[in-house]
Amino acid sequence: MSKQRQQQQYQGFATMHMRMPMSTSSLPIQGHCSVDERRVTLRFPFTGIEFDLPTAPSDQTAAELEFLIRSQKGRDMTVTISRLDDLNAYIGYGKEDGDERAVLTFVFYTADSPLSRLPII
């Protein structure tokens, strides 16, 4: 057995809320989420977003993390990630400066989470 502890892989789903031009409505676009150590990858049909978490997810991770990333539009985005202990999962929200509504939502979990039984479309 290796002395190094192998990091758990996480998978899940993501939604990007794209604003429609000349409209107040947004269009939700479904995608996939994966986390490898600290690296979060969100994949959507025509684009992808990658960023690093402040720390790798684990049972000892704080109940909630909040940090800034730069959005594709060059604006700061506040990302909040909360641990869902009963589901062995995490839920994240990304809000651009000045916006009340999330432009990104994502959920990731390990293979032993009850959420792993959900089909990923």
Read off the CATH number of the domain in which 95 is found. Answer: 2.40.128
Q: What does the chain come to in residues?
A: 121
Specify if 116 maps to a domain.
no
Specify if 4 maps to a domain.
no
pLDDT-derived band at 1 (thresholds 50, 70, 90) equals very low
pTM here? 0.84
Distance CA 89, CA 104 (A): 17
- Tokens representing 79 are 């990302």
Specify if 15 maps to a domain.
yes
Percentage of the chain with pLDDT > 90? Answer: 53
pLDDT for residue 7: 55
Q: Is the confidence at residue 115, as pLDDT, over 90?
A: yes
Distance CA 90, CA 83 (A): 4
Specify if 40 maps to a domain.
yes
Cβ proximity of 42 and 16 under 8 Å? yes
Q: Where are the beta strands (DSSP E) in 7-119?
A: 9-19, 26-36, 39-44, 47-52, 64-70, 76-84, 89-96, 104-109
Specify if 26 maps to a domain.
yes
Residue type at position 92: G
Specify if 64 maps to a domain.
yes
Domain tally, the chain: 1
Q: Once rounded to an integer, what is the mean pLDDT over residues 81-86?
A: 92
Q: Once rounded to an integer, what is the mean pLDDT over residues 93-114?
A: 91
